Amino acid sequence: MQAQNDKCVMVLDKDLPLGILANTAGIMGITLGKHIPETVGADVLDKSGKEHLGIIELPVPILKADREKIRAIREQLFQPEFADLIVVDFSDVAQSCNVYEEYIKKAARVEEKEMTYFGIGICGAKKLVNKLTGSLPLLR
């Protein structure tokens, strides 16, 4: 991924409580980091010689939308045009589980259309990411 050609965003449900917003962003960020490790920069030393682990080299705007808009974006992401984008979502199904094995089993029993998305993270070609999210405001 290159900053001039690629983009990463997170779109969060603006109506969620602050704690769930933070949890959603954190979980999706870890997942995106796993799938695009080349975007994490080298570790950094400060003036006193203390080490700081590398962080993502691309900005990751956190955008807001309502539940319906997030669902509409998620549905668009199933179209072939967007197949090359890296997408992570976090839903009510995932948030309701304390153990990953429980999430696997619960997700297998729920139709996708029944899931409520708390957020989606999207990384890839800037043009495609902007097509999906370019009109969304920042979460403030």
pLDDT digit string, tens, across residues 85-131: 999 999 999 999 999 999 999 999 999 999 999 999 999 999 999 99
Residue 124, phi-psi category: left (phi > 0), alpha (psi -120 to 50), beta (remainder)? left
**Residue 118 to residue 125: CA distance in whole angstroms:** 23
Using DSSP, state whether 125 is helix, strand or coil.
Answer: strand
Express each pLDDT in 3-15 by its tens digit: 678 999 999 999 9
**For the whole model, what pTM was predicted?**
0.91
Describe the chain by its helix, strand, coil percentages, rounded to 5.
40, 25, 35
